[in-house]
Amino acid sequence: MDWQSIQVLIGTKESDKLEPSNRAWVQDAYLLGEPGRGTGLQFRGQDGPCSMQAASGILNGFDTALEFYAAGGDTSGQGDWSNGNHFEGTIRNYRVAISMRSEGAAVSGNTVRAQVQANSKRSEWLLWMADDPRSERDSENYLMKGNTLFVYPWDVNNYSANNPYSSDADRRAPIWYLGRGTRYGNSIYDFSGLLGNEFIVNNSDNPDRNGIFTAHGGEVTGTAQLRFNPAYDRNDSRRWHPESENS
């Protein structure tokens, strides 16, 4: 990808190792891009990790609003990881809200806390986790693990017009593409309480170790004074999107 198509890049090729002692902190940014073109903000690991960096603000427009990208294949401790980074803010008017890609090194332990609003003219995915491109795979390369999104997903019906897995059935379009390869410990916490695992196209080599969770129903451990009855019965079945390779 041409760097000129990225509005804010955390982890340029010439930068020193990005870690807590060498901060690249983007705070309260407002990034406005042409809808459907370019990338808003990218955490890029290359020639060293992009690790434990933070950004906050509003991402409005773009083809991909936010991306965690391991741009090389060095899987060593000082390799091309994109790991432990955090974004907090608002994301809207995108094709893909949040993308995770790798050229071999790990994309791991990244977190997002955001209000995310889909647009019916262009939005396809809330979260896209790219495939491991190899037919013969191992667990050390193209790894994506422990990535967590805390999101309120607005207007999820707006994915239906553009999502490649959308159909004319009553089922709404999926929001998360979980690609082939070693993918585990990845989670979406849905603060709207309306989504579940059927909104995941789950092609992962580790299908049962990923999921969408809601915050509806539960109690505080150690007390009976604070309790909320679940809005619906617990569902223990595996219910990925029916076009998933793991369905």
Least confident of 37-51, 101-115, 124-138, 225-239: 225-239
Q: Using one digit for the tens of pLDDT, what is the confidence trace for 142-196?
A: 999 999 999 999 999 999 999 999 887 657 899 999 999 999 999 999 998 888 8
- Residues 145 and 62: their CA atoms lie apart, in Å, by 26
What is the number of other CB atoms lying within 10 angstroms of the CB of residue 239?
15
What is the value of pTM for the model shown?
0.89
**Residue 2: predicted pLDDT:** 47
In this model, does residue 3 exceed pLDDT 90?
A: no
Mean pLDDT over all residues of the chain?
86
Q: How far is CA 9 from CA 5, 24, 53, 72, in A?
A: 10, 10, 12, 16
pLDDT, residue 178, reads 97
At residue 40 the predicted structure's pLDDT band, cuts being 50, 70 and 90, is very high
